[in-house]
Chains A and B, each alone.
Chain A
Amino acid sequence: MTHLAYLLPLLPLAGGTVLALLGRRLGEPLAGWLGTGTVLGSFVVACIEYAALLGRHGPGGRTVVQVLWSWIPVAGFQVHVGFLVDPLSMTMVLFVTGISALIHLYSIGYMHGDEDFSKFFVYLNLFVAAMLILVLGDNLLLTFVGWEGVGACSYWLISFWFDRDAAASAGKKAFIYNRVGDVGFLLAMFLVFEKTGSLDYRTIFAHLSNFGPAATTAVVLLLFLAAVGKSAQLPLFPWLADAMEGPTPVSALIHAATMVTSGVYLMCRMNPFLARAHDASLVIASIGVATAFIAGTIGATQQDIKKVLAYSTVSQLGYMFLAVGVHAYIAAIFLMVAHAFYKGLLFLGAGSVIHAMGDEQDLKRMGNLRRYLKLTTVTFGVAWLAISGIPPLSGFWAKGDVLDNAFAFNKGLWAVGLAAAVVTAYYLSRLMALAFFGEERWRKVFPTAQAVAAERAGQADPEVANLLHDGPAPAHHGEGPHGDPHEGPWVMALPLVVLAVLAFFGGALNLPWHPSWDPLGWLSPVFGSRLYAAHLSGTTKWALGVVDSAAALVGLGVAFPLWTRQWHRPQLEPTFLQRGWYIDAAIDTLASHGGQQVAAVAGGPVEQGVIDGAVMGAGRLAALVGGVVRRVQTGYVRQYAVGIVLGAVALLAWMAAQAWR
């Protein structure tokens, strides 16, 4: 059965290739259906593989390697293209292909009317292929192929509407931030190869003893640097907020459900190293929980619905790294899957809202949408309660698992994590209240077609003109502002419903249903032991569950009435938080402006003055001494060149004559 592993990335890769060549001819919606079909095909293959893997027993029986071809063979350096199918990669494959298929389907509706409709599915298909290579690669280098591949697709998709400067810049920013992390990935690979002569996961885990404490710590921290870039942790998270310039399905798929979790996956895959690096693990847990809290506070003050969700993603990823840092890998994966359900749902719901409102993303210009978008409101509501951690929805179980493990490991980490949980419930309740409840603010200020025309004619009402200039760019998919908001087509509705069901019942994944079907427990062989919450007594767990629920209720109970009643509360939205603790600005000043100054000096005075100056000066000096300065300047060099030609020809002729003799 496991012969099929290669099909998983191959199907979307083939889909992307066909669409790149023939997409325009296929047109809309056929290109979208082809793209969706290939990913659905991968999902089916994944299910078959999953069933096959479940049927295998015994120690190591659930690990299958499929080696396809020798990729880079140079003397001692041998890396092949091979796929590692084990419970960890299979779990990733299942949820990646499943969510991807749903979001492809949704995109057929969302991208309707876009002039680059088929190109969108090219990138989306290529992304899925790269993501599957990332999780299936059986060596670090192949994982890196996927790692960079998803980064490239993310770049193309963020800057998909490249007419907008903001989108083009955001794509570039995402790529460069990721590249900073990639330096860590590359250096870690060099070190691993030096110590073990291999990059193959199984081989390097078998040679762990070749690594001293310093080397182990270095490998873990370097890979964590890569994860910090890819998964938008402190301090490399600002790119994810900017990445919201991409079409909303992209935000849902790449910047919430899948790509950004690959840092967590990498850490889980390298768990034998983490097990030997306790200091590094503490660093990971601390950065994770700090990110969870800080990003949450930023998300609580954003006006753009997608930015709230972006910071929420950063915050949730922080929880996952907290879990990784306390070696609760199953909890990390559990939260990753649950998060994919509810955050994917939140983004798709936000997409529905944006779509219905004619590309309006400002929460302050929404309100009372529950009257018009019933399905979106219900499904969004499920995700809201799930992420807030209200029992018995999936988020309660997943986040609770992480917090329990943090509690068992270090009370300080747990306390910050709990505070972040309150903030989580707060910012999403605020979002919910502003968008779906309260007064219909969009009726008052929503720019009408006439207002747009008036603005173009230069006789606009200044308030409306401001809105037009500050607001998001005009419609991209033909959904101009019009009457009452309404729901999208069924292709957009179906994924919402499916994800809502999953977000509601996702917590059940952690139940040992049957000895042969324990959806998350089957991961334990990969992680050595089922560490999580092992030390805690039943009473403590109950107590912690109650505390978690209380935290969720506090956040929800404070925010919801507050923001339903009054949408304008500047005292609760301090600039410090709105500007993201000025972290973006700090990086910008240091790296971007500083870098530009260095480059200006290097490109100007140094290059032209010092280096070229030295050469030209030496040349002039020589010319002056030789008295040929005039000739050089008047182009007599041409005569030298002719001289060389003639000389060479004569020499050759003479040589030929010699040879002839």
Chain B
Amino acid sequence: MSQPVFPFLTTLVFLPVGGAVAAMAAPRLVQPAHRRPVAILVGALAMTATLAVALAMAVEFRVGDSGYQFVSAHEWIPALGISWQLGVDGISLFLVLMAAVLFPLALLGARESERAPSYVAWLLLLEAACLGSFVALDLVLFFLFFEITLVPAYFVIAGWGTGRRAAAATKFFLYTFLGSAFLLVGIVAVAVIHDQQTGRFTFDLLALEHTRLGLSTQVLLFLAFTAAFAVKAPIFPFHTWSPDAYGSSPTGGAVALAAVMAKLGTYGVIRFDLTLFPRAVVDAAPVLLSLGVAGILYGAIVAAVQRDLKRILAYSSLAHIGFIVLGLFALSTEAVTGGVLQMVNHGLVTAALFLLVGWVWERRGTVDAGRLRGLQRSAPVLAGFFTLAMMASIGLPGLNSFVGEFLVLSGTFLTHRWWAVVATFGVVLAAVYLLWAFQRAFHHRPTPETSQTKDLRWGEIAVMVPLAGLIVFLGVYPKPVLDRITPSVEALVHQVDQATGRHQPAVANGGVAAVTAAGRRTPAAASTAGVPVVTAAALGPARAGGPLDLALPPFPEQRRLP
């Protein structure tokens, strides 16, 4: 327990807030002509500083520790049981990092015209709220951050969006606001029940997770919490705000909304539903798994008939969120880990795609796939990046999404076989709608208009390179990420198992050792089947445990230290 005393998490939340204030204030000190650049500079600096803090925290993060780290716990409003309680574990670590990486790119990748001082300030506030939600361990604090995201998101869409932006923003606002109402009621109810049992009124998640709840209570509360999360994610069939909102958002806003803010929903499921209501989760799993599968198939099918690239991406997101939901409710270590990883992967890929589509919009004034024809001829670099991100989205092995999707599907196969089987067909559909859209927009002989389209500028390439790098890196070497996510997920799944008396299959935890220990292995039978006798004469420079292999310490059984 020799973690530095530096308050990483509190800094992470307040840096962007300070940045927002500065982005509004600083431009007033200069001539009107310089206001925009100054605001952007201040915003970029604040976001970069936030990223630096997040990276420093990730470096200090203890691998193999399943509990919360960098915990910052302060009494706040004792009268109401509210505390300033922040902490990060393997599940939230990479969501924090992802948000810290994506916000600066969203800011820098957006169109010049979008980046008014107030826009920069709203984006910074949205970042603060997202980061706060990912690290809050107090339910009211979480609710506060969760709810505050609505405001900057609303103003970003309504102020700088395209098309029917006011209507889209309103629909988004009302829809998610309605969902949150259930969440608030649920939060208060949990606290009240806990108060009755222990005499202590608190919103501290660490205390509340020991509340004894009857099954029917759990189910009701689970529904209340999940209503909010399902709208935010969005989970089928609560998604209809998203195509309008993503489609009408400005580029940076779409990135922030689809790539980062949407993850608050799925994060809420794993952090609160699985922790507080394990029995309800196990009971309701078939329903939620079915919604996940329905989202995968339905999102893909509807995406196939869209013409607007942004709406295609919105429905594609619905399908990908379906995979995450599938993973979280399948409740095997592989599936849940895959789901968490997929939240990060989806964020990176979606951000890249929305940025690229935004740049197309900027050049052409349309993102109607049918009217773009032949973009690859005039903008090969843009097409190249789009191809990479598209292939990642389709789930090409070697790129990031494949790792997450495969873990989700194979982990789901262990616990809920037929849902996994149906969901696997989603991989065909993903190829259908994305390749079709790509063909319409990028292939064919270019139209005269298309052949005038300019390729990416160096600044835009600079925004794309980190995303492309991460997409490839996480596909080839996801081990550093998985090593940090897995212990927390293992502990969580263990906790659910203990609370419900269910057991995830032995193979999920033990792998080949588990099936061998079951005594089913008969080497004699194997060799009579004509199997070559093989020797693992590994002569490679780097066997497992070699230089590239970060040793993984044994996992502590308990989720967190007393």
- Contact surface of A with B, Cβ cutoff 8 Å: 2-3, 5-6, 20, 59-61, 63-78, 80, 82, 86, 141, 144-145, 148-149, 152, 155, 159, 162-165, 168-169, 172, 175-176, 179-180, 182-183, 186-187, 189-191, 193-198, 202-203, 205-210, 271-272, 275-276, 525-529, 595-596, 598-600, 602-604, 607, 611-612, 615-616, 619, 632, 635, 637-638, 640-641, 644-645, 648, 651-652, 655, 658-659
Complex alpha-carbon distance, A165 and B442, angstroms:
11
Q: Is the CB of B151 within 8 A of A525?
A: no
Say whether B45 faces chain A, with CB atoms less than 8 Å apart: no
Q: Is the CB of B538 within 8 A of A66?
A: yes
Instruction: Please classify the interface of chain B as helix (H, G, I), strand (E, B), loop, or mixed, using the class held by over half of its residues.
Output: helix
* Residue of A3, A163, A528 touching B541 (CB-CB under 8 A): A3
* Residue of B169, B337, B476, B513 touching A197 (CB-CB under 8 A): B513
Q: Kindly list chain B residues whose C-beta atoms are within 8 Å of the C-beta of A155.
A: 435
Complex alpha-carbon distance, A3 and B403, angstroms:
27
**Which residues from 490 to 520 on chain B have a C-beta closer than 8 Å to any C-beta of chain A?**
490, 505-516, 520
Q: Is the CB of A162 within 8 A of B511?
A: no
Q: Kindly list chain B residues whose C-beta atoms are within 8 Å of the C-beta of A182.
A: 427-428
* Residue of A67, A73, A145, A651 touching B479 (CB-CB under 8 A): A73
Q: Kindly list chain B residues whose C-beta atoms are within 8 Å of the C-beta of A648.
A: 144, 147-148, 151
Q: Is the CB of B542 within 8 A of A68?
A: yes
Q: Kindly list chain A residues whose C-beta atoms are within 8 Å of the C-beta of B409.
A: 186, 190
Q: Is the CB of A194 within 8 A of B334?
A: no
Q: Is the CB of A207 within 8 A of B515?
A: yes
* Residue of B238, B397, B508 touching A149 (CB-CB under 8 A): B397
Q: Is the CB of A276 within 8 A of B529?
A: yes
Q: Kindly list chain B residues whose C-beta atoms are within 8 Å of the C-beta of A189.
A: 410
Chain A residue, CB-CB nearest to B439: A168
Q: Is the CB of A611 within 8 A of B514?
A: no
* Residue of A190, A528, A635 touching B410 (CB-CB under 8 A): A190
Central interface residue in A66, A275, A276, by most chain B CB within 10 Å: A66
* Residue of B333, B444, B530, B548 touching A275 (CB-CB under 8 A): B530
Q: Kindly list chain A residues whose C-beta atoms are within 8 Å of the C-beta of B158.
A: 638
Instruction: Please classify the interface of chain A as helix (H, G, I), strand (E, B), loop, or mixed, using the class held by over half of its residues.
Output: helix
Q: Kindly list chain B residues whose C-beta atoms are within 8 Å of the C-beta of A196.
A: 512, 515
* Residue of B147, B173, B334, B516 touching A637 (CB-CB under 8 A): B173
Complex alpha-carbon distance, A632 and B540, angstroms:
67
Complex alpha-carbon distance, A183 and B514, angstroms:
27
* Residue of B413, B420, B479, B510 touching A69 (CB-CB under 8 A): B479
Chain A residue, CB-CB nearest to B545: A70
Central interface residue in A69, A175, A176, A198, by most chain B CB within 10 Å: A69
Q: Is the CB of B539 within 8 A of A66?
A: yes
Complex alpha-carbon distance, A205 and B506, angstroms:
20
Q: Kindly list chain B residues whose C-beta atoms are within 8 Å of the C-beta of A209.
A: 520-522, 525-526
- Pick 23 A–B contacts, CB within 8 A, sort by A: A3-B541, A65-B537, A66-B540, A71-B477, A72-B407, A75-B486, A76-B507, A77-B508, A80-B544, A82-B540, A162-B444, A165-B444, A191-B413, A193-B410, A197-B514, A207-B516, A209-B520, A599-B305, A604-B305, A611-B240, A612-B240, A641-B154, A659-B74
Q: Is the CB of A75 within 8 A of B549?
A: no
Complex alpha-carbon distance, A65 and B529, angstroms:
22
- Contact surface of B with A, Cβ cutoff 8 Å: 74-77, 79, 82, 84, 144, 147-148, 150-151, 154-155, 158, 166, 169-170, 173-175, 177, 237-241, 298, 301-302, 304-306, 333-334, 337-338, 374, 376-377, 384, 391, 396-398, 403, 406-407, 409-411, 413-414, 420-421, 424-425, 427-428, 431-432, 435-436, 439, 442-446, 476-479, 482-483, 486, 490, 505-516, 520-523, 525-526, 529-544, 546, 548-549, 552
Q: Is the CB of A194 within 8 A of B540?
A: no
Q: Is the CB of A60 within 8 A of B535?
A: yes
Central interface residue in B305, B420, B512, by most chain A CB within 10 Å: B512
Complex alpha-carbon distance, A179 and B436, angstroms:
14
CB distance from B376 to the nearest CB of A (A): 6
Q: Kindly list chain A residues whose C-beta atoms are within 8 Å of the C-beta of B538.
A: 64-67, 82
* Residue of B298, B414, B435, B525 touching A175 (CB-CB under 8 A): B435
CB distance from B193 to the nearest CB of A (A): 24
CB distance from B526 to the nearest CB of A (A): 5
Q: Is the CB of B539 within 8 A of A641?
A: no
CB distance from B433 to the nearest CB of A (A): 9
Q: Is the CB of B532 within 8 A of A528?
A: yes
Q: Is the CB of A655 within 8 A of B436?
A: no
Chain A residue, CB-CB nearest to B539: A2
7 A-B pairs with the lowest CB-CB distances in the bound complex, closest first: A528-B530, A76-B511, A603-B305, A66-B540, A168-B443, A190-B413, A197-B512
Chain A residue, CB-CB nearest to B506: A76
Q: Kindly list chain B residues whose C-beta atoms are within 8 Å of the C-beta of A652.
A: 144
Complex alpha-carbon distance, A655 and B505, angstroms:
47
Q: Is the CB of A75 within 8 A of B478?
A: no
Q: Is the CB of B539 within 8 A of A615?
A: no
Q: How many A-B residue pairs have CB under 8 A?
A: 306
Q: Is the CB of B398 within 8 A of A145?
A: yes
Q: Is the CB of A75 within 8 A of B511?
A: yes
Q: Kindly list chain A residues whose C-beta atoms are within 8 Å of the C-beta of B406.
A: 72, 141, 186
CB distance from A646 to the nearest CB of B (A): 10
Q: Is the CB of B530 within 8 A of A207?
A: no
Complex alpha-carbon distance, A651 and B407, angstroms:
42
CB distance from A172 to the nearest CB of B (A): 5
* Residue of A141, A276, A658 touching B76 (CB-CB under 8 A): A658
Q: Kindly list chain A residues whose C-beta atoms are within 8 Å of the C-beta of B508.
A: 75-77
Q: Is the CB of A527 within 8 A of B530?
A: yes
Chain A residue, CB-CB nearest to B83: A659
Q: Is the CB of A198 within 8 A of B533?
A: no
Chain B residue, CB-CB nearest to A592: B432
Q: Is the CB of A603 within 8 A of B526?
A: no
Q: Is the CB of A659 within 8 A of B511?
A: no
Central interface residue in A59, A148, A619, by most chain B CB within 10 Å: A148
CB distance from A624 to the nearest CB of B (A): 14
Q: Is the CB of B431 within 8 A of A198?
A: no
Complex alpha-carbon distance, A152 and B402, angstroms:
14
Q: Is the CB of B166 within 8 A of A635?
A: yes
Q: Kindly list chain A residues whose C-beta atoms are within 8 Å of the C-beta of B301.
A: 598-599, 602-603
Chain A residue, CB-CB nearest to B518: A210
Q: Is the CB of A75 within 8 A of B490?
A: yes
Q: Kindly list chain B residues whose C-beta atoms are within 8 Å of the C-beta of A152.
A: 391, 396
Q: Is the CB of A528 within 8 A of B302?
A: no
Q: Is the CB of B428 within 8 A of A180?
A: yes
Q: Is the CB of A148 within 8 A of B397?
A: yes
CB distance from B529 to the nearest CB of A (A): 5
CB distance from A120 to the nearest CB of B (A): 13
Complex alpha-carbon distance, A619 and B522, angstroms:
63
Complex alpha-carbon distance, A651 and B413, angstroms:
47
Complex alpha-carbon distance, A617 and B541, angstroms:
65
Central interface residue in B397, B398, B409, B490, by most chain A CB within 10 Å: B397
Chain B residue, CB-CB nearest to A191: B413
CB distance from B245 to the nearest CB of A (A): 13
Q: Kindly list chain A residues whose C-beta atoms are within 8 Å of the C-beta of B411.
A: 77
Q: Is the CB of A644 within 8 A of B147?
A: yes
* Residue of B74, B238, B428 touching A183 (CB-CB under 8 A): B428
Q: Kindly list chain A residues whose C-beta atoms are within 8 Å of the C-beta of B544.
A: 67, 70, 80
Q: Kindly list chain B residues whose C-beta atoms are within 8 Å of the C-beta of A141.
A: 397, 406
Chain B residue, CB-CB nearest to A130: B398
* Residue of B374, B384, B398, B531 touching A206 (CB-CB under 8 A): B531
Q: Kindly list chain A residues whose C-beta atoms are within 8 Å of the C-beta of B534.
A: 60, 63, 65, 86, 202
Q: Kindly list chain B residues whose C-beta atoms are within 8 Å of the C-beta of A529.
A: 530
Q: Is the CB of A145 within 8 A of B397?
A: yes
A78-B511, A145-B397, A197-B510 given as contacts; is B532 within 8 A of A603 (CB)?
A: no
Complex alpha-carbon distance, A182 and B395, angstroms:
12
Q: Is the CB of A74 within 8 A of B337?
A: yes
* Residue of A72, A603, A611 touching B237 (CB-CB under 8 A): A611
Q: Kindly list chain B residues whose C-beta atoms are within 8 Å of the C-beta of A599.
A: 301-302, 304-305
Q: Kindly list chain B residues whose C-beta atoms are within 8 Å of the C-beta of A2.
A: 539
Complex alpha-carbon distance, A168 and B407, angstroms:
32
Q: 4 new A-B pairs (CB below 8 Å) besides A78-B511, A165-B444, A210-B521? A: A75-B486, A144-B397, A183-B428, A596-B305
